[in-house]
Amino acid sequence: MTRGSSLMLALALIVCAAPKDDAPAQKAADVFVTAVGLATEEVARGLDNPVYLTAPAGDPRLFVVEQPGRIRVVENGKLLEKPFLDIRSKVGYGGERGLLSVAFHPQYRSNGFVFVNYTDKHGDTRIERYGPSSDRNAADPASAKLILAIDQPHANHNGGLNLFGPDGMLYIGMGDGGSQGDPHGDGQNRNVLLGKLLRINVDRGDPYVVPAGNPYAKGGGRGEIWALGLRNPWRFAFDRAAGLLYIADVGQDKYEEIDVSLMTSAGVNYGWNTMEGPSCYRLPLCTKSGLQQPAFAYSHDAGACSIIGGFVYRGRKIPEIQGQYFYSDYCNSWVRSYTYNADATNRAWHQWLDGGLGNIVSFGEDGLGELYICSSNGRVYRIIKSAGNPTRS
């Protein structure tokens, strides 16, 4: 098995015997016809386990995160030899561990700040800020500032995404600490940061302050927590146009789920490990009271194993797919989109691509809102209009 394929085979996140009940997965009631087909074009190859892609707003460059600890730049269609940042000497790499994301500060053009999320040599999560160098295509590796350190009890379920929200706050996705079944009960424990979506203000304090709007800012839990009840969010995204937060949460052995809530909704409990998707996980002590059900879930039938979350398309090149949330599954590597509607009886999904891209590890979004795919084959692909006939779900 290659290192590329082993990355997220670990992220497929381990099948174990889960309690059974009769709750069905929520399914899209409707499918839809589009006037466009989709395809992919390769934009970079020869990468070492690419796990994320992003760019500052309006910036034509692409920044690709390599799991062993580098961030690479694609400029004018060329993968630059010199990395934007190389912290391999600090990163503990293997399985689900490694450098997992980078976020550009909303004022990156003026301050040059980037925030990385990685596991260190001890396997613990570290959020660090780096500043600019004299080279526009390189951060200063000597400028590291520790923002937040979180102990990890096991080697998996690290979450790993840093993302700035429309409110300017830094959001951090944290898995439940790993192993199987959340053995420490971290998903529902308000006094730990594991199994949560965190929200901090990195523009005030040293190194940050807890925003006043966080649900436990005045007590009752860790102030950094924005939402709880997550198993391993891989990944989450903001749809600024609709004011929605999407979280793709990897399931245990029955369901994969997509959670959707208003971006302004603080303290949402997504259920793990009381629930797995729409189904009770902890029987017979299972109550759904106070828990938000998934907007959409699919079962592990037909070989599915681990949801790969993406983004809601808000680019300009393919207006026919505006507002659709794109996602994949590591074991199947199809590309699907899901159209959220607050009316649960009128939601639609569509399968666009089916195989041929290696194991899909992550999606990316460039500075203009176009979507990309990071593959275990060391390549990055851009999603484009197909020259062929449109497809029907």
Mean pLDDT of 381-385: 96
Question: Distance (Å, rounded) from C-alpha 368 to C-alpha 254?
Answer: 36
Question: Distance (Å, rounded) from C-alpha 227 to C-alpha 252?
Answer: 19
Mean pLDDT of 9-18: 33
Question: Distance (Å, rounded) from C-alpha 223 to C-alpha 215?
Answer: 7
Answer with the residue of higher pLDDT: 28 or 14.
Answer: 28
Least confident among 2-11, 52-61, 86-95, 358-367: 2-11
What three-state secondary structure class fits 309?
A: strand
- Report the first-to-last Cα separation within the chain, whole angstroms: 34
For position 302, what pLDDT does the model report?
Answer: 80
Contact criterion met (CB below 8 Å) for 360 and 306: no
| Residue 19: partners with Cβ closer than 8 Å, 6 or more residues away | 280, 281, 282, 283
Answer with the residue of higher pLDDT: 305 or 27.
Answer: 305
Residue 19 has pLDDT above 80, yes or no: no
Contact criterion met (CB below 8 Å) for 222 and 267: no
For position 346, what pLDDT does the model report?
Answer: 57
pLDDT band for position 6 (cuts 50, 70, 90)? very low
Question: Distance (Å, rounded) from C-alpha 85 to C-alpha 132?
Answer: 10
Strand order in the sheet with 233-239: 233-239, 244-249, 255-262, 296-299
For position 285, what pLDDT does the model report?
Answer: 72
Percent of the chain's residues with pLDDT above 90: 81
pLDDT band for position 203 (cuts 50, 70, 90)? very high
The candidate with the shortest Cα–Cα distance to 204, out of 170, 239, 244, is 170
Length of the chain: 393
Q: What is the pLDDT of residues 107-126, one digit of tens each?
A: 999 999 999 999 999 999 99
Percent of the chain's residues with pLDDT above 70: 89
Q: How many CA atoms lie within 13 A of 197 on its CB side?
A: 34
Output the CA–CA distances (angstroms, integers) from residue 120 to 85, 186, 269, 272, in the order listed.
Answer: 16, 21, 29, 26
The burial class, CB within 10 Å (0-12 / 13-18 / 19+), for 393 is middle
Q: Determine whether domain 3-385 maps to CATH 2.120.10.30.
A: yes
Mean pLDDT of 288-317: 94
For position 29, what pLDDT does the model report?
Answer: 39
For position 28, what pLDDT does the model report?
Answer: 40
For position 27, what pLDDT does the model report?
Answer: 45
Question: Distance (Å, rounded) from C-alpha 280 to C-alpha 249?
Answer: 16
Q: Where are the alpha helices (DSSP H) in the chain?
A: 3-11, 108-111
pLDDT band for position 3 (cuts 50, 70, 90)? very low
Question: Distance (Å, rounded) from C-alpha 95 to C-alpha 86?
Answer: 19
Answer with the residue of higher pLDDT: 248 or 389.
Answer: 248
What pTM value is reported for the model?
Answer: 0.91
For position 17, what pLDDT does the model report?
Answer: 30
Residues 268-283 as b/e (b if ≥16 CB within 10 A, e otherwise) read: bbbbbbbbbbbbbbbe
For position 344, what pLDDT does the model report?
Answer: 63
Residue 30 has pLDDT above 70, yes or no: no
Question: Distance (Å, rounded) from C-alpha 357 to C-alpha 378?
Answer: 10
For position 372, what pLDDT does the model report?
Answer: 98
For position 387, what pLDDT does the model report?
Answer: 74
Instruction: Please count the other Cβ atoms lying within 10 Å of the Cβ belonging to residue 110.
Output: 9
Contact criterion met (CB below 8 Å) for 328 and 335: yes
Answer with the residue of higher pLDDT: 350 or 69.
Answer: 69
Q: Where are the alpha helices (DSSP H) in 138-268?
A: none
Answer with the residue of higher pLDDT: 231 or 35.
Answer: 231
Residue 22 has pLDDT above 70, yes or no: no
